[in-house]
Amino acid sequence: MIDRTPQCAASAALQGQSKFIFEGAKMALPIILGYLPVGLAYGALAGSSGLTIWETVLMSVFVYAGSAQFVAIALLAAGAGPLSITVTTFFVNLRHLLMSAALSRYFRGYSNRWLAWFGAELTDESFAIHSARFRQDPATYQPITMLAVNGLAHLGWIIASLGGFLLQKGIADPGKYGLDFALPAMFIALLFMQLTKRLDLLVAAATFILSVGLGQVLPVYWAAILAAVCGAFFGAIVLWQKEDEQCAGK
């Protein structure tokens, strides 16, 4: 009689992994839909600015930062050198320090190789998804699901970039069709998904007001970073005060 125990165990393990990957796919779907119009716009702009199809796609593969890619294209078109482009995109993406720091408490014990893989594909949108999922139940959030969210969203961006390059003549001006608002609309939806407490609403409102105010006197990326830091600090102070009051009450 043939012992099928190993095959059954392998099949069960595969089904379990598929379940977690499918969960990641469902979580990544809103990101992919939001990336579609922006990626198309990027691909069209890259093609019209003189980049080849390979340069356009490889930038989405290795850089994978929408705002930085748009900035890089503008700088390339203006004749800027590699150093200028690198420094500028570094500051544009400085917010990733905040995002990585915010998630770091959930990744104690993970290998550096895994963290590098996860961090390389972390974006504003996937950060919002991961944050919401961790707040629900961090113990059940599987590493393979996290990587599926990041990987599928990245794949969606690459495909959209390629599509934009191939269809650049038809979508040279995405704002004409309102497609330029797709990404902000997605961020607004993701934000509302996380506003489950009064404190969340207060922090979001304070950060928004501060970001708009700072944006009048500072570059947009600096305004966003400073507003996020101040908003997080405000929320932390409120939480500390509540904890002190609870301890004093006991």
- Predicted confidence at residue 14, as pLDDT, reads 47
- Predicted confidence at residue 121, as pLDDT, reads 93
44's tokens: 């069209």
What's the rounded Cα separation, in Å, for the pair 231 and 237? 10
Considering the entire predicted model, what is its pTM?
A: 0.70
Top-confidence range, 22-31, 86-95, 191-200 = 22-31
- Predicted confidence at residue 244, as pLDDT, reads 58
Q: Nearest to residue 127, comparing CAs of 90, 100, 87, 164?
A: 100
Neighbours of 87 (CB within 10 A): 11
Higher pLDDT, 93 or 157: 157
Residues in the chain: 250
Q: How confident is the model at residue 73 (pLDDT cuts 50, 70, 90)?
A: confident
Q: How confident is the model at residue 201 (pLDDT cuts 50, 70, 90)?
A: confident
Largest CA distance in the chain: 78
Given a cut of 70, is residue 225 above it in pLDDT?
A: yes
Are the beta carbons of 93 and 69 closer than 8 angstroms? Answer: no
- Predicted confidence at residue 22, as pLDDT, reads 93
Higher pLDDT, 108 or 158: 158
What's the rounded Cα separation, in Å, for the pair 100 and 110? 14
Higher pLDDT, 162 or 136: 162
Determine the average pLDDT of the residues in 160-165.
93
Higher pLDDT, 189 or 29: 29
Are the beta carbons of 149 and 129 closer than 8 angstroms? Answer: yes
What's the rounded Cα separation, in Å, for the pair 138 and 210? 30
10-19, 124-133, 148-157, 217-226: which has the minimum mean pLDDT?
A: 10-19
What's the rounded Cα separation, in Å, for the pair 57 and 67? 15
Are the beta carbons of 66 and 157 closer than 8 angstroms? Answer: yes
**Site of tokens 């006991």:** 250
Q: Within 13 A of 204's CA, how many CA atoms are on the CB side?
A: 15
Q: Nearest to residue 89, comparing CAs of 67, 60, 61?
A: 67
pLDDT in tens, 88-129: 788 778 778 888 888 988 998 899 999 999 999 999 889 989
- Predicted confidence at residue 153, as pLDDT, reads 96
Given a cut of 90, is residue 230 above it in pLDDT?
A: no
pLDDT in tens, 231-244: 877 777 776 776 65
What's the rounded Cα separation, in Å, for the pair 126 and 30? 10
45-54, 66-75, 101-110: which has the minimum mean pLDDT?
A: 66-75
Where do the domains of the chain lie? Answer: 20-182, 195-250
* Helices 124-136 and 182-194, packing angle to 10 deg: 20
Are the beta carbons of 230 and 210 closer than 8 angstroms? Answer: yes
- Predicted confidence at residue 6, as pLDDT, reads 42
Distance of CA 174 to the CA centre of its chain: 21
